[in-house]
Amino acid sequence: TQRPPRLLQYGRMPLSALDRELAAQFDVAVLSEQADPDRFLAEQGTHFEYLVTSAAMGLPARVVDALPHLRFVSSFGVGFDALDKESLLRRGARVGYTPGVLDDCVADMAFALLLDAARGLSAADRFVRRGDWSRQRFGIQTRASGKRLGIFGMGRIGSAVARRAAGFGMQVAYHNRHPVEGSPHQYLPSLLELARWADFLLITAAGGDATRHLVNAEVLDTLGPQGFLVNVARGSVVDEAALAAALQDGRIAGAGLDVFEDEPHPLPALLALDNVVLSPHIASGTHETRHAMADLVLQNLAQCIATGRPVAEVPWSAAAATA
Ligand code: 8YV
């Protein structure tokens, strides 16, 4: 019998069943669990052709540079902003990821946050638990149905959000760098125009340098005191300090956030506010979706080992491979 291929796991995966399956199929080393990870890389880095990581853990250049024979990275997640593009392209390693299978659950979560922010659901829960109900009235909230939903980032997930919005009788407009061909929704050529138009500004744009802090104080002030912000994309898209200040001053009405600039550390100012609902980066975190993501991580690995290319490949990796 052949020895199973060696596989470097950057860290524990977001689903323990996947850790177990990887250990069954491969000769696994988990980098984060080595006593001295840098020394481990220096001594053993030459042995690994395959690596798995997640969108949240990412992959720094320091690790790629220590793996001279790295051929394939399989990442758990659809975002690839935390995978170091330059070092991976230099290495010629191909990069697989898990688009498509998480769209519905992320869109569900976007709507959960939108409705919670508008109707004050989490604040209402705190109100009842504190025993305030017998002493005072809960504040009047904001209607979501029929309102204007501005989507920043009309990709697969943005489209899934827009489909849900139809059921709530919401009008949808969006902003991307370029209009999406064939999209039935209104395109607004700038984020400021989208913020001015929208009652709810919802972010499903990719993270990374191109979108860093695009949602800044000016965009939030333009969204205005009746407006709500929802972010299920990347914390880096929003200037979190500006957001906390806008929420505190009532310059926007409320927010729902699943992602933060420095996870797992939301800005402390946010924790004290009742008009923001916070969740710990769980939009893809259902049994169904995490298992589908895990299957694609495994399929990407298997196909890359068999044919040299993954089932679902990060665009810049695919582009480099065909160049
Ligand atoms: C995380 C995500 O991948 O897919 C993404 O880009 O951010 C999430 O689905 C998940 O938390 C595991 O890292």
* Residue 297 near ligand 1, beta carbon < 6 Å: no
Q: Please state the rounded mean pLDDT for residues 8-29.
A: 98
What is the reported pLDDT for 56? 95
* Residue 284 near ligand 1, beta carbon < 6 Å: yes
Q: Which tens digit of pLDDT belongs to each residue from 58-109?
A: 999 999 999 999 999 999 999 999 999 999 999 999 999 999 999 999 999 9
Q: Which tens digit of pLDDT belongs to each residue from 182-208?
A: 999 999 999 999 999 999 999 999 999
* Residue 77 near ligand 1, beta carbon < 6 Å: yes
For the CA of 14, the closest atom of ligand 1 is 12
Q: In sequence order, what are the residues at sequence separation of 6 or more whose Cβ sits closer than 8 angstroms to the Cβ of residue 212?
A: 236, 237
Q: Which tens digit of pLDDT belongs to each residue from 109-120?
A: 999 999 999 999
Q: In sequence order, what are the residues at sequence separation of 6 or more whose Cβ sits closer than 8 angstroms to the Cβ of residue 175?
A: 150, 151, 152, 154, 187, 188, 189, 190, 191, 193, 194
What is the reported pLDDT for 323? 84
Is the reported ipTM for this assembly greater than 0.95? yes
Domains along the sequence of the chain with CATH: 6-101+287-322 (3.40.50.720), 103-278 (3.40.50.720)
What is the reported pLDDT for 316? 97
Q: Which tens digit of pLDDT belongs to each residue from 217-272?
A: 999 999 999 999 999 999 999 999 999 999 999 999 999 999 999 999 999 999 99
